[in-house]
Structure 1
Amino acid sequence: MKLSSVVAALASVVSATILQNGQVRITDYPDTVIDPAGYTFETYSPSAHEISYKGRWDSKYISWWSAPGLKFGFTGEYVAITFGPLTSNTTLVGYRVDGQDWQFTNITIGATHLFVSPSTTGVNITAPIDPSTFELRVTNWAYGVQIDAVHVAKGESLFKIPNYGRTIEIIGDSLSAGQYATLEGLSSYTYGLGAGLGNTEYSLTAYPGICLFDKQCYGNLRGMFYQWFRTSDTSGRAIDIWGDNPEVWDFSKQPAADIVVINLGTNDNNSANNVTTAGYVAQYTMLIEGIHAVWPRAQIILISLWEGFNTIGNTYEQSSGFYTEIYKIYEYFNLPEYLSNPILYDPVKNTTYKSFRPSAPFVSYFNTTGILQHNDIGPQYHPTDVGHIKLASHLIQYIKLKFDWVLYATGPEIQHDTLYWNDQQDY
C-alpha cells in the first residue's frame, strides 16, 4: 500500500531511528565497526561457494527486495564482514549465531564489522565437530548491503550450510515488505510465514507502492508483472546502479519454490494509478502463467486484498479490492479446460503459449476476511506488528492443513522484541 510518505522515504537518507507509537524507540544497537588491521583473519571472497545468499542478490553481491540475507557455517570464535561501496549507509541488519535471538547493528559503507567474537552468546556451545551457523538479514526494504569479503579467525574455515528441503516465495507490495512495521522486513507477515514454518527457505520479493500492472505507481517505474523477473527492486538505488536495464533474475540461483504466495493489487486498486480492472486481471493471469512456467511444480496461493476498515454506523467494516476478480482468476486456473491445456507466459518474448501438457491444479485462494480487526491496522494504513503476526499465523495453519506441511519452528526467535508480559499480580 502507498502513502504520501513513500515517495519521500525513497529519496530520504537512511535513518537509524525507529518510531514506536510516535515515540523514538531506544535501540542502543552496538557499533560493530572494527579496524581489520588489528586482527589476523582468514578471508573469503563474496563468491565463495560456502556462502549461501538468501533472497535476491545481484552479480555485484548487492542485496535487493525485503529481508535478503546470507548464511554459512564457521569454525572458531570470530566472524567479520567487509561491506562494499554500494552499501546503503547505516542500513540496519539483524544477525545471529545458530538459534540465538537476533542482534542488530547499523552498517557503515566500506567498513568491516565484527559480528561474532568470543563474547558472543552461543559461540562454542555447539559440539566441536559441528560448525556454528551465522545468519544475517537486511531489515529494510529500500536499502541494502554489498558484500566485499567474509572473515574468520586465521586457520578457521567457512562451511556450506545445506538448503532446507522446501522453499516458499512471497510476492507483494508494502503490506508484504513490512513497511511501517517495527523492524520492517523482519517484522512482516511474510517473514513470519517463511521463518514460522521452520526448516524452510524463503524469499520476500515485495516493495512498497508497486502495482501488479506494469506501469509507474507511486514512484515505482515498473510493475511487478515486469519486475518479478528481474534481480533488483524498483528503488532509487536500483536505478542509480542498474539504470533502466536491470539484471534478469537467474531462477537457478535459488531452489525452486514449492509454494508461491501472491498479495498484489492494493496499489492497482487506487484511482491515483489508473489501472483498469481488465488490465489488472490480464496481467495477474499472465504473471501466474509465468510463475508456472518457471516453477511448474509450485503451488500458488492468491491472497484476497484487505484495504483497511471503514466506520459503518457505530462499528467498523473491512473493505476490500478486486475481491470478485481475484476469486475468478483462481477459478479460471482450476477449470478442467485450462488444466488439460495450460497456457504459460514467456517474459523474454512477452507472449503466452500453450504447453500441450496437462497440469494438476496448482492455484489456491486464501481469504483474509475476518483475520484482521480495525486495531490491527496502524495510522499509516498498514498492519501493526500484531497484525502481521496474525496474518502469518493464519497462513501457516492454512499451508499446514492444505499442503500437509509439518511445522518445524519449535524454539528459535522469529519476531524480535515482541515479548510482552505482565508479572504483576496486583494491579
Structure 2
Amino acid sequence: MGLSTLVKCILAPVLASATILQNGQVRDTVFANTSIASVNSNWTSYPPNTTEISYKGRWDTQHISWWSAPGLKLGFTGDKLAISFGQHTSQGVLVTYRFAGQDWMFSNVTANSTHQFVDASTLGFDLTLQTQRPQTFELRVTNYAYGVQIAGVHVAEHARLVQIPNFGAKIEVIGDSLSAGQYATYEGISSYAWGLGAGLGNVEFDITAYPGICLVDQNCWGNAHGQVYQWLRTSDTSSRSVDIYGDSPPLWDFAAHQQSDIVVINLGTNDNNTHNNVTNEKYLNTYIDFVAEVHGKYPHAQIILIALWNGFDQVGNTYQQGGAFVDEIKQVYAHYKHEGFVHYFNTTGILQHNDIGPQYHPTDVGHVKLASHLMQYIKLKFGWVFGATGPEVQADTLYWNDEANY
C-alpha cells in the first residue's frame, strides 16, 4: 500500500526511551546531563521576555514553544550559560543546542528545572576567539508533540546577554508529519524543512507543521482542526495545546513578527487518506482559499506548492512512486499563475522507495535529498544564495567507511 492509506499521527505520545536504528543497527546515543540544582549570586539572570533573546518559530506570551523545531538564539559574554524551564515544559523533552559554530549537542530537560549548557570546558569555547565569531548560543526543541517554557536565562556574574539581529530574509514551511519530521532520527531537526531553512543558512525559518493534520478544517487522526484554521493560531493541535488553551487557542500576531519571504506548503497527504473522507473538490477549494489566506498575511511572499509524492508501491518487478491530488494541486497553481507569486515544485524522481522508512515517512537521507532539491530550486528561481558555510546543519550525520579493503 502507498503512504496515502497508511500515514497517521500519534497525537498523545508517551514519553519513553527511544532506539535509533541505522540500517537495522542500533545507534549509540549519549546525551549530556546538563541539569544543575539552581543558580545563585554567581550568576546574572534575565527574564524570558528580555529583548536579547530571539525566539525562533512560534511561542506564546507565556514563552511556551509550539509546532516543529521552535527555539531561541542569543549572544552572551562570560564563561557560562544556563536556562531555567517553566512548569509547561514537557517532561524529559529532548532539546538540541550549540555554542557558536560547534556541532549540535543533545540533552533531556524537564519542567521546573535549570540546565547549564555552556561552561569554560565547552568544546570550542575560547574567550580569545570572540572576535572571530560571535559568542552565540542556540537551542531547539526536537519533537513536534512536546515543548518547553522558558523561565529565565542566566550568565556569569559580571557577564551579559547580547542581542543577535535576525537575518533579513525568512522562509516558512507549512505542513503535516512529512514536514514535522515524524519518524526521522531527531524528528524536527532531521526534517527536510529543517534542512531547507538551516541549509540556506542566512535566513530565518519557521516550521508550522504537525503530524496527521489535514489542509481542510476537519478532524483528521485526532487533530480537531486543519491547517486552514490552525495555521492562524499560535499553538498546534497537540494535547498540550488542549490542556493549556482548551478549544480556544490564541491567534498568531502576524504583524508583530518578521514576515515570511518564501512560504512552502506541503499539505494533502492526510486529506487524501480514505479514513478522513475529504473529497477532491473540497480539497481544491480549500487549497485555493488557503493560498489566498497566506498571501493576505504575507503579501510580498513567494508561495511554493509541493507536489505530493505519497509513497511507493511495488508494481511488477520494480517500484513506482504514488501521487495524491495531482490534478488539484496543479489547478491551484493554475488559478494563481497569472499573479506570479505561486509556484509548483514537482517532487517526481527526487525520492526512491528506499528513501521511505518502515513507518512510511522519509528516512533522514530522503529528507536531505528533498531539502537539497528545494534549496537549489529556490536558488535558481529566486536568486537566493547558500549561506551555510561550515557549522553543522543536520545533526549526527557523520557516517563514513574507513576500510580500504573489504
Q: TM-score range by the shorter chain?
A: over 0.9
Contact 1:43 1:149 in 2 (8 A): yes
1:274 corresponds in structure 2 to 277
1:221 corresponds in structure 2 to 224
The CA distance in 1 between the partners of 2:292 and 2:118, in whole Å, is 44
Contact 2:5 2:274 in 1 (8 A): no
Among all aligned residue pairs of Structure 1 and Structure 2, give the percentage whose two residues are the same amino acid: 59
TM-score by length of 1: 0.91
How many equivalent residue pairs?
Answer: 402
- Residue 73 of structure 1, aligned match among 57, 62, 75: 75
Contact 1:75 1:131 in 2 (8 A): no
Encode CA deviations 1:34-61: one digit per residue, 9 max, x unaligned: 0124661110000001100000001110
2:317 corresponds in structure 1 to 314
1:12 corresponds in structure 2 to 13
Encode CA deviations 1:313-368: one digit per residue, 9 max, x unaligned: 10000000000110111011013xxx4xxxxxxxxxxxxxxxxxxxxx10000000
**Match of 2:96, as an amino acid?**
G
- Assess, with a 3 A threshold, how the Cα gap between structure 1 residues 258 and 111 changes in structure 2: closer, same or farther: same
**Match of 1:334, as an amino acid?**
K
- Assess, with a 3 A threshold, how the Cα gap between structure 1 residues 310 and 84 changes in structure 2: closer, same or farther: same
Q: Greater shift after overlay, 186-195 or 276-285? A: 276-285
**Match of 2:207, as an amino acid?**
L
- Residue 34 of structure 2, aligned match among 11, 29, 32: 32
Encode CA deviations 1:7-60: one digit per residue, 9 max, x unaligned: 5x4323223423315665321101110012466111000000110000000111
- Assess, with a 3 A threshold, how the Cα gap between structure 1 residues 333 and 4 changes in structure 2: closer, same or farther: closer
TM-score by length of 2: 0.96
- Assess, with a 3 A threshold, how the Cα gap between structure 1 residues 327 and 130 changes in structure 2: closer, same or farther: closer
Is it true that 1:386 corresponds to 2:386 in the alignment?
Answer: no
- Residue 109 of structure 2, aligned match among 104, 107, 110: 107
1:346 corresponds in structure 2 to none
Query: Counterpart of 1:334 in 2: which secondary structure?
Result: helix
Shift of 1:108: 1.8
- Residue 403 of structure 1, aligned match among 370, 375, 382: 382
Encode CA deviations 1:358-410: one digit per residue, 9 max, x unaligned: xxx10000000000000000011100000000000000000000001111111
The CA distance in 1 between the partners of 2:112 and 2:164, in whole Å, is 27
Query: Counterpart of 2:172 in 1: which secondary structure?
Result: strand
Q: Greater shift after overlay, 318-327 or 248-257? A: 248-257
1:98 corresponds in structure 2 to 100
1:58-69 equivalences in 2 (<5 Å): 58-69=60-71
Query: Counterpart of 1:283 in 2: which secondary structure?
Result: helix
Query: Counterpart of 1:391 in 2: which secondary structure?
Result: helix
- Assess, with a 3 A threshold, how the Cα gap between structure 1 residues 267 and 125 changes in structure 2: closer, same or farther: farther
2:200 corresponds in structure 1 to 197
Shift of 1:126: 2.9
- Assess, with a 3 A threshold, how the Cα gap between structure 1 residues 52 and 188 changes in structure 2: closer, same or farther: same
Runs of at least 5 residues in structure 1 that lack an aligned partner in the other structure: 340-360
Contact 1:2 1:208 in 2 (8 A): no
The higher relative CO (CA closer than 8 Å, separation ≥ 6) is in 2
- Residue 377 of structure 1, aligned match among 342, 347, 356: 356
- Assess, with a 3 A threshold, how the Cα gap between structure 1 residues 278 and 125 changes in structure 2: closer, same or farther: farther
The CA distance in 1 between the partners of 2:108 and 2:7, in whole Å, is 23
1:44 corresponds in structure 2 to 46
1:159-198 equivalences in 2 (<5 Å): 159-198=162-201
**Match of 2:361, as an amino acid?**
H
The CA distance in 2 between the partners of 1:125 and 1:18, in whole Å, is 40
1:304 corresponds in structure 2 to 307
- Assess, with a 3 A threshold, how the Cα gap between structure 1 residues 272 and 6 changes in structure 2: closer, same or farther: closer
Query: Counterpart of 1:316 in 2: which secondary structure?
Result: strand
1:238 corresponds in structure 2 to 241
Contact 1:16 1:91 in 2 (8 A): no
Contact 1:33 1:108 in 2 (8 A): no
Contact 1:69 1:135 in 2 (8 A): yes
The CA distance in 2 between the partners of 1:130 and 1:18, in whole Å, is 36
Encode CA deviations 1:262-320: one digit per residue, 9 max, x unaligned: 00000000110011111111111111101111111100000000111111110000000
Contact 1:210 1:222 in 2 (8 A): yes
Shift of 1:102: 0.1
**Match of 2:18, as an amino acid?**
T
Query: Counterpart of 2:57 in 1: which secondary structure?
Result: strand
1:116-155 equivalences in 2 (<5 Å): 116-123=118-125, 124=127, 126-127=129-130, 131-155=134-158
Contact 1:212 1:265 in 2 (8 A): yes
Runs of at least 5 residues in structure 2 that lack an aligned partner in the other structure: none
Q: Over aligned residue pairs, what C-alpha RMSD do you find?
A: 1.7
